[in-house]
Amino acid sequence: MAALDLATVVDSLMNHVNSHNGKKRIGNDRRQAEDAIGKLHKLMKDDMEKINALIIDRIFSEVGIIPELARHIIDSGGKRLRPLITITAARLCEYKGPELHVKLAASVELMHTATLLHDDVVDGQAHRRGKKTARMIWGNQSSVLVGDFLLGRAFKMMVECGSLRALEILSHAASVIAEGEVLQLASTARDPNITYESHYLKIIESKTAELFAAAAELGAVVAGDNAEKAAALRCYGHNLGIAFQIVDDALDYGGVSETLGKDVGQDFKEGKITLPVILAFKQGTDDEKQFWTRTLHLGQQKEGDLQVAVDLLLSHNAIEDSIEAARCYADSAIRALNAFEDGPVKKALVDVCNFAVKRDH
């Protein structure tokens, strides 16, 4: 079981590119998607409370700026989706042992938080989840170092769990995520090859999908389940992560700043080539392709270019088509769960896939 080939998905979309004539296909069920996450939090309420308490305990330091800065981002309203996946996957695998799944889930969340701190420095972000980023308050150096501190605490908890396989999964994820960040950083250096779907997929597989995959696989590992179920959960998380990131990239152009908690068009300003741009470029006229080359490849942006970019994406239905591509990956994640019997826990994981596609932030 593996991720879909993005080029194949895109070609399929292009074959039907004129079929919808601008019709909105995303649906009006985003509230139901949000409710799905709320229901999952209720289902896993006891474990999530333990995870949150453990995180607060483990970020303590006598160096006051460390817990202060860490709490700033940890308490900023994240969905805790990755640790949720870990403990839900563990329950799906009928884990009934000591609370090792809680420590592993907390480790996953600390790793994720560390990557957010590092990403905000690399990308020069001013806002996250509607609040000033840590770097805007405490500076880049403190943000990077506290991120390193959180990674250290995460790996300490992994060691405490006594599972070499779990440690291997998360240490591998940490290196892959770092590789993805470097790859994206190199890609924004105006490399024309970044318009290719395979390059874009490689970046989001590394930066986003890898931690989703690790979070899901850990549920089977901690439960001592067989390799087939571990692989199925890894496939689930991998495809879910890709869907999640594609929607993020679509919302960067089609969302609302107040809802997203960050500035719309940030990817454009940073010269990132994401799926909406790839789709619009494929359908664009020569003049439109010259616009994308000037603004993203050459980095020669001027006032009003962001609105032109949004207008081009809308005219080619590139945002909606990106959501459709995300749906393909979400469906693949759902199919991976066929290895498990139906029930409320499996349904909760299916609902997470629907949330990933239908959310508006």
Number of neighbouring beta carbons within 10 Å of residue 131: 16
- Provide the pLDDT for residue 16: 56
From CA 12, how far away is CA 33, in angstroms rounded? 26
From CA 17, how far away is CA 279, in angstroms rounded? 10
Q: 132 has which bridge partners? A: 127
From CA 180, how far away is CA 209, in angstroms rounded? 10
- Provide the pLDDT for residue 6: 80
Mean pLDDT to the nearest integer, 293-319:
94
From CA 210, how far away is CA 82, in angstroms rounded? 11
pTM: 0.91
The pLDDT tens digits of the residues spanning 209-240 come to: 999 999 999 999 999 978 999 999 999 999 99
Share of the chain above pLDDT 90, in %: 71
Query: No. of H helices and E strands in the chain?
Result: 19, 2
Q: Is the dihedral of CA 261, 104, 241, 180 positive or negative?
A: positive
The pLDDT tens digits of the residues spanning 45-74 come to: 999 999 999 999 999 999 999 999 999 999
Please choose, from the candidates 31, 55, 68, the residue with its C-alpha nearest in 3D space to the C-alpha of residue 108. 55
Mean pLDDT to the nearest integer, 237-248:
97
- Provide the pLDDT for residue 290: 94
From CA 282, how far away is CA 308, in angstroms rounded? 17
Helix/strand/coil for 284 = coil
- Whether the per-residue pLDDT at 252 is higher than 50: the answer is yes
Element (H, E) at 260: helix 257-260
- Provide the pLDDT for residue 260: 54
From CA 327, how far away is CA 321, in angstroms rounded? 10
Tell me the domain boundaries of the chain. Answer: 6-17+27-358
pLDDT band at residue 33 under the 50/70/90 scheme: low
Q: Which of 33-42, 277-286, 299-308, 313-322 has the lowest mean pLDDT?
A: 33-42
> What class does CATH assign to 6-17+27-358?
mainly alpha
